[in-house]
Amino acid sequence: MYISKFVTPEIIFGTGSLNQVGECCSRLGSSRVFLVADRGIVNCGWADKAVIFLDKAKLDYQIWSEFSANPRDYEVEEGLSLYRNSNCDAVLAIGGGSAVDAAKAVATLSTNKGRIHNYEGIDMITEPLPPLIVVPSTAGSGSEVSQFAIISDSDRKIKMTIISKSLVPDIAVSDPIILSTISGNVTAHTGMEALSHAIEAYLSLASTDMTDIHALHAIKLISENLRSSVASQVDETAKIAMAKASLHAGIAFSNAVLGLGQAMTHQVGGLLDLPIGTISAVLLPYVMRYNLIACVDKYAEIAAAMGAQIRHLSKREAAEKAIGLVQELAKDVGIPSGLAELGLPESSIPELSRNTKNDACFITNPRDADEKDIINIFRAALEMPGGGS
């Protein structure tokens, strides 16, 4: 039994809750807000909407959108000079994982000296961050509640994981309405990202009763609502459920951390400029297969949460069902079934495997693995489409 800890930000949830952002910022003492919103969000008009509420709270603001889908170190530094030059004193992020990660990095550098590279790893941040308020625009990354930020190192071509309690936002504002402007494709891979988070957090060595409740609930909500959410941008019930699922998954993985799947995903993500959700969804069944013997009981619970009738099955049969259900869901929402489809060169596997072992997320994986094991999982995912069961 480990000593554990459970942290969440203040969470504001509800349809229309975007109207809270102005009050939130001013309550936290801000007078000039750095509004981080990716271009998609700006184009959909959500940034303008947020500005209305900032105006209402009599707050000045500076908008920043100049970062890529996988934010890079130098972009974050440009963001920082804009933050400084415009005399901002709080950060408000509206967007998917990339906007939130970029916002967290700017907030970090605004009070912590040097480059973002200095803070890679666990608990490297020493100075408190300015108030950080996050409004997720996708139901997936969970970064609105998490203590993680991922930034690309443009020289080393890898993704840096920054883990710190200081990265947990002060307030997460989740407004399901915002999910309605997200395309089906993005809804699909972000939803699968949330599912990977929930499953790996549930299986994690650091999982606790508190994280398990959130993880299982997220798995249930996703398997019941992701299909309909992908199918229609206006299915309000599905959007609300997915917004909740993202929060629950985020709370679970921020506290229980993840596993091998996420560690491998980070490596592939450093190489291919693809959505994290797509990569982790492709890898998930193969990693689940590898981890199965570590926690058959929990797999059975996953199957049950995903709606399988397991009463008449053996634990092992039920566990196998969980993998099948994940694959089925991924297939239904249009996720490719193997790494070959994503264009991963076979030759990169040894190096990716080596780096995987150094990823922080690997520590909490339920089954030990050496480099060869990881190579085998990568190979399986590359060569055998549908290779899970």
**Which residues are near another protein by CB under 8 A?**
2-5, 7, 122-123, 125-129, 147, 163-166, 168, 205-206, 255-257, 360, 363-364
Q: Which is nearer to another protein, 53 or 362 (CB)?
A: 362
Asked whether the beta carbons of 116 and 160 are under 8 A apart, the reply is yes
Q: From the CB of 146, what's the least distance to another protein, in Å? A: 12
Q: Which residue, 228, 172, 207, 192, is CA-closest to 294?
A: 207
Q: Which is nearer to another protein, 255 or 353 (CB)?
A: 255
Q: From the CB of 205, what's the least distance to another protein, in Å? A: 6
Asked whether the beta carbons of 219 and 302 are under 8 A apart, the reply is yes
Q: Which is nearer to another protein, 70 or 365 (CB)?
A: 365
Q: Which is nearer to another protein, 3 or 234 (CB)?
A: 3
DSSP type of residue 72: B
Residue type, 120: E
- How many C-beta atoms lie closer than 10 Å to residue 373's C-beta? 16
What contacts 296, CB < 8 A, 6 or more positions away? 315, 316, 319
Strands 158-163 and 148-153: antiparallel
Q: From the CB of 3, what's the least distance to another protein, in Å? A: 5
> Three-state secondary structure along 337-366?
CCHHHHCCCHHHHHHHHHHHHHCHHHHHCC
Q: From the CB of 307, what's the least distance to another protein, in Å? A: 30
Q: Give the whole-angstrom CA distance, residue 316 versus residue 386.
A: 20
- Separation of CA 285 from chain center: 18
Q: Which residue, 278, 251, 271, is CA-closest to 356?
A: 271
Q: From the CB of 123, what's the least distance to another protein, in Å? A: 5
Q: Which is nearer to another protein, 7 or 293 (CB)?
A: 7
Q: From the CB of 366, what's the least distance to another protein, in Å? A: 12
Q: Residue for token digits 């974050």? A: 76
Q: From the CB of 176, what's the least distance to another protein, in Å? A: 27
Q: Which is nearer to another protein, 146 or 355 (CB)?
A: 146
What contacts 226, CB < 8 A, 6 or more positions away? 187, 188, 191, 192, 195, 238, 242, 329, 333
Q: Which is nearer to another protein, 175 or 359 (CB)?
A: 359
Strands 132-136 and 171-174: parallel
Q: Which is nearer to another protein, 52 or 122 (CB)?
A: 122
What H or E segment, with its residue span, contains residue 55?
helix 46-56
Q: From the CB of 226, what's the least distance to another protein, in Å? A: 28
Q: From the CB of 327, what's the least distance to another protein, in Å? A: 29
- Separation of CA 385 from chain center: 25
The two structure tokens encoding residue 71: 């934010």
Q: Which is nearer to another protein, 44 or 206 (CB)?
A: 206
